[in-house]
Structure formats: C-alpha cells, structure tokens
Amino acid sequence: MGEISIEAGKVTDLPQVLDLIHELAAYVGFAKEVSNTVEQMEQDGFSNNPIYGLFVARDGQKVIGAAIYYYRYSTWKGKRLYLEDLVVKEGMRKKGIGKLLFEATMKKSLEEKCSGLMWQVLDENTNAIAFYKKYNTSFDRMFINCSLDVRSMKRILKVN
C-alpha cells in the first residue's frame, strides 16, 4: 500500500467507484439490486446540476474507497448531509481508509453549514456498526425506512 490520498471524485473515477458499489452490494447480500451505470452516475453527479458528490480514497491511480453523499432537508433540522455509501475495497479494510473518508465527509458537512450528517447502516453489518460507534453515533430505532420503486409507482398510477 502506497500513500493514500482523499480527494473529490472525478468522472474518470466512476468505473472504479461503480465497481466498489457492486462489491458493497455483494458484501451485504444485495448484489442483484444494483442497476446504476457509469453513464447515469456521470449525468447525476457531473452535470450542471449535480445531485450527489463523492470523495475517493486513492492509492496511486487506483480507487480503493469512496464516500458518496448528497444534501437532504429536514423540516426539523434544516439542511443535512446524507452519506449514501461509504465503501472500502475488501482487501483494504481496517487500515484507516474508512476513517479518512468518513472524516472528509464530516468536514464537508461542516463547511457547507449543514445541521448534521445522516446515513443508514444495515443492522446485520456489525463491522460498520462497530466503526460508527467509535464516533458516538446515535442509532435510530424509531423510524422505518420506506421506498417505492419506479415500477411500483407506474403500476399504482397506471402510467407507462
């Protein structure tokens, strides 16, 4: 392992970032759920109106970790930064890379004057839970996550 750098992700990093996303999905048992593409990520994150940002951990030219975030709004708390994914390549875990990415995301939240940082962690991902506990994280057991996919909404609304 060479010197690790943490920096804002670039379009050219997206193929490696998507590989990390696939690796994370497989790790947590949801490998078949990833439908995103490099092209979609480029459009969503690098257009005139990006809807997400990312940091990458780089070992030379190789992306070995990523933190993907976006802004959300809480009617109770105001602007918040939401950490969508924090992933480090499997062979590079437990070397402090996740810490560097997580703390870069915290700094971004503070720089952007957000009222806090939020994220989800699967209850089965004991390694991630142990990692976040080191930061005195509040774990919310009251709110249930909800979602509707495109297919369901179209069916409900009877649109194509």
At 51, is the secondary structure helix, strand, or coil? Answer: coil
Alpha-helical runs (H) found in 34-143: 38-46, 97-111, 126-133
Which residue reads 């004057």 in tokens?
113
Is there a catalytic annotation at residue 135?
no
Residue 149 near residue 114 (C-beta atoms within 8 A): no
Residue 73 near residue 79 (C-beta atoms within 8 A): yes
Active-site residue, from 69, 71, 132, 135: 132
- Regarding beta strands 78-88 and 117-119, do their DSSP bridges make them parallel or antiparallel, or are they unpaired? parallel
Tokens of 75: 């009617």
By annotation, the residues acting in catalysis are: 132
